[in-house]
Chain A
Amino acid sequence: MQDVLTLAQAGGTPPMAGVTLAHYLFVSAAMFALGLVGFLVRRNLIVMFLCTELMFQASGIALIAFARYHMEMSGQTFVIFVLTVAAAEAALALALVVLLFRRRDSLSTEAWQEMRG
């Protein structure tokens, strides 16, 4: 079990191979692309913001994977920052969505089409 699940809690962590890093980066990139598709495709304001959170998640995985590869903690520090920005974005976006919903009684993006530049 210890061979399979190499949690690096104790020291002596083996260096990570570049191919292993590529696996994590592919998962991160695919999740980011899914978030992008969702943002473009969905017409519900709340689900659109949910898809931006999905993209935040993907960037977090990439940052942590690079941090592990380089054995450098700055990547994890940046993820704390990503979490902060995500929390702030959720607060503002949801306040905005509630405001828009009270005005039009709909969450559809098409209800606000006259804002198109």
Chain B
Amino acid sequence: MEPSREGVPLVEQLVNPFLLYGAIALGGIGVCVALPRRGVSPQAIGALLAAIAGAAVLIGLGLGAPEALPNIHFYIFSAIALGSALRVISHPRPVYAALYFVLVVLSSAGLYLLLSAEFMAFALIIIYAGAILITYLFVIMLATQSPTEDRLDMLADYDRAAREPVVATGAAFVLLAVLTTLLFSGIGQLPEPRDAMAREGLMAELPRRVESSLRGDDLLNRGDELVYRADEPWALELDAVERTVLVRRATGEVEAVGLPDDLRLRNVESLAFNFLNEHPATIEIAGVILLMAMLGATVLSRRQVELDEDLKAAQASKLRLGPGGGGAAQPVPKAPERGDAASTQRGLPGGRFSSGGRDAPGGGQA
């Protein structure tokens, strides 16, 4: 922890507030420039401005305490994460936005690894990048007709231009300024970080692992056994600070044996202890949430949709023109089509079109 300087506000201990707010404002301008708009959108310039701003804050933080810098991988992963996050919100094509979000997830998993959360890092990749994002991509590809050629004017209008970019980035500027101020001033008041040794006490509750590790290193002979606590008969008499465990020898004497160096609590083990020991209701609540989501999604998606009249006409004309591919190209005269399409529509069950609907007009009326 950085030594606190008397009389200096807590934010200023970490970074110069002038630099902080200036950089956030510059980043806001950069994001605003990079957002998609009609005509030219100078995305490279915007991204450059935002990158300079982010780098300025991180360098400013680093200069405050050069001895406590995070390692180089932090800078790489966070650059990728923030850069692709900018691309997610500024790319006009939804499919690309989703793919850039996969990149955000992967680099966040890298940050999790640096923060020694190995299990969560891989769970994040499997669940987010593997399942959730694929569902997103699936729906995007169902719901948008992507033009194959590399032309932006083929995109839908709502993807090409941002809505109120200046106001939105202004709101985000205020949010980010307040957040960083509060977070950075809160860091000055946090308690001193705990030593990793504090949680090694959980090792006492893993007797089989301790025993197999000791036997593997020939520290236990035949007939020796570990001593369990009198009040907690499932836990070992283990000293986490001195790294010793009590062993009753075959001869009957009790002595303390040092634990092997490679016997450490793994991330998965400590996470599992916390998950099931301290928050036992979590898994039940998560199960209920997922069940409700599943039910809700099923109910929502099996509802029959009543189409608008205009839409019915458009789809009917599209179907009538056949699979030759010319359907989208030529404009369809609306007025004469509509009555015809509505009569076509009446013949079909459930108000929905199937590809067989093209042959329906004759038979449907009968």
Contact = CB atoms under 8 A, between A and B. Distances in A.
Q: Do A and B make up one complex?
A: yes
A104 interface: yes
A33 B170 CA distance: 11
Interface string A53-68: 1100100110011011
B31 interface: yes
Nearest to A57: B108
Contacts of A21: 187, 190
B117 A5 contact: no
Nearest to A12: B196
Contact of B163 (A43, A49, A53): A43
Instruction: Classify chain B's interface size.
Output: 35 or more
Most-contacted residue by chain A among B143, B156, B169, B171 (CB, 10 A) = B143
Interface string B302-318: 01011110010010000
Contacts, number: 325
Interface string B90-125: 000010011001001100100111111111100110
Interface in B174-213: 175-176, 179-180, 183-184, 187-188, 190, 192-200
Contact of B127 (A37, A49, A87, A109): A87
Contacts of A76: 117, 119-120, 271, 274
B52 interface: no
Interface stretch (B79-87, B231-239, B332-340, B358-366): B79-87
B17 to A, nearest CB: 13
Contacts of B278: 74, 77
Contacts of B116: 7-9, 13, 68
Contacts of B108: 57, 60-61
Given A90-B135, A95-B296, A103 B120 contact: no
Given A30-B82, A65-B115, A104-B311, A74 B168 contact: no
Instruction: Classify chain A's interface size.
Output: 35 or more
B282 A80 contact: yes
B69 A84 contact: no
Contacts of A41: 35, 89, 162-165, 168
Name the prevailing secondary structure of the A interface residues.
helix
Given A81-B282, A95-B297, A98-B142, A86 B128 contact: yes
A95 B159 CA distance: 21
Given A17-B68, A73-B270, A79-B120, A26 B61 contact: yes
A91 B144 CA distance: 18
A30 B158 contact: no
Contacts of B61: 19, 22-23, 26
Most-contacted residue by chain A among B68, B98, B296 (CB, 10 A) = B68
A4 B81 CA distance: 20
Contacts of A42: 89, 162-163
B1 A17 contact: yes
Nearest to B65: A19
Nearest to A89: B293
B132 interface: yes
B183 A29 contact: yes
Contacts of A15: 192-196
B27 A30 contact: yes
Most-contacted residue by chain A among B68, B97, B124, B158 (CB, 10 A) = B158
Contacts of A64: 111-112, 115, 117, 120
A88 B296 CA distance: 10
A6 B58 CA distance: 20
Contacts of B197: 11
Contact of B195 (A71, A74, A85): A71
Q: 6 tightest A-B contacts by CB?
A: A38-B89, A8-B116, A88-B293, A73-B274, A17-B68, A108-B158
Interface of B: 1-2, 14-15, 27, 31, 35, 54, 57-58, 61-62, 64-65, 68-74, 78, 81-82, 85-86, 88-89, 94, 97-98, 101, 104-105, 108, 111-120, 123-124, 127-128, 131-132, 135-136, 139-140, 142-144, 156-159, 161-165, 167-169, 171-173, 175-176, 179-180, 183-184, 187-188, 190, 192-200, 262, 264-267, 270-271, 273-275, 278-279, 282, 285-286, 289-290, 292-294, 296-297, 300-301, 303, 305-308, 311, 314
Given A6-B71, A47-B97, A103-B306, 7 more contacts: A5-B73, A24-B111, A53-B101, A64-B115, A76-B119, A97-B143, A108-B157
